[in-house]
Structure 1
Amino acid sequence: MSIFTKIITGEIPSYKVAENDDFIAFLDINPNAKGHTLVVPKKEENKIFDLSKEEYRSLMDFSYRVAKALEKTVLCKRIGMSVIGLEVPHVHVHLIPINAMADMQFQQKVKFTNEEFVSLAKSISGNFE
């Protein structure tokens, strides 16, 4: 069972920003930038291209909606998207508000308090459509 499945089942807490029957989006607790969000299918699958075409399309649609909420919440030049999948064997899309290429390199991290995470998650969630 992946750490993301434990988040989905509520065994591990998260700063959830959006959820439906098939997907969940929550703030990355070790973010590259303010608003760095992970979009995860509830079905545990290791590799993104092992998803069916329909599951993949649905993941991208949900990710789009989360990205639009991020754009309304976090001041940035754009929302970057990355799918790497080596760090956790469960498909996940990184949505990262970016202002420079370095924001996507997973080398610089920013720190937030619990209160800042809670407030940000609530703000993003309020902009999710």
Structure 2
Amino acid sequence: MPTIFSKIIAGEIPSYRIAENEDFFAFLDIFPIREGHVLVVPKTEVDKIFDVSDELLAKWLVFAKPIARAIEKAFACNRCGISVIGLEVPHAHMHLVPIDSADDLNFTRAKLKLSPDELKDVQRRLLEAMAQ
């Protein structure tokens, strides 16, 4: 059965798309831990990140790099943090999050509840930063 991420990639579930190529899809986390939180997933369904092929794993970081830079431009933060937890959805994914401290990557904290308009604004800010 397809994962929720595969359904998002296929367009069966709407998302706030940030970037896409033949191998990866990046979109806003609709329950972010910080504003600007982006999920980056391979289009191939693989449960665990270290089960992804070496070639795809290397490409994954290269794909995420301009998104991370856009996060740093678009949001007041010290840097873009990266986290791979993989417990919520059986489809390998990385979280790119604007951070000021390690605690900003604490996924046990309450998630933000952004409105659709707020999510569209975050998407716009990231897309503009990527276009620069």
Task: Flag whether TM exceeds 0.5 (same fold).
Answer: yes
TM-score, normalization: structure 2?
Answer: 0.93
Structure 1 residue runs without a partner (length 5+): none
SS at match of 2:103: helix
Aligned 8 A contact 1:32 1:107 in 2: no
Partner Cα distance (1:59, 1:71) in 2 = 19
Q: How far did 1:100 drift?
A: 2.4
Q: Which segments of 5 or more consecutive residues in structure 2 lack a partner in the other structure? A: none
Contact 1:19 1:25 in 2 (8 A): yes
What's the % identity of the aligned pairs? Answer: 49
**Matched ranges for 1:1-129 at <5 A:** 1-108=2-109, 109-128=111-130
Amino acid at match of 1:35: G
Q: How much does 1:127 deviate?
A: 2.2
Paired residue secondary structure (2:128): helix
Partner AA of 1:98 in structure 2? I
Paired AA for residue 63 in structure 1: A
Q: CA–CA distance in 2 between the matches of 1:63 and 1:69? A: 10
- Give the RMSD, CA atoms, in angstroms: 1.1
Displacement after TM superposition at 1:107 (Å): 2.2
SS in structure 2 at match of 1:97: strand
CA distance in 1, matches of 2:129, 2:21: 15
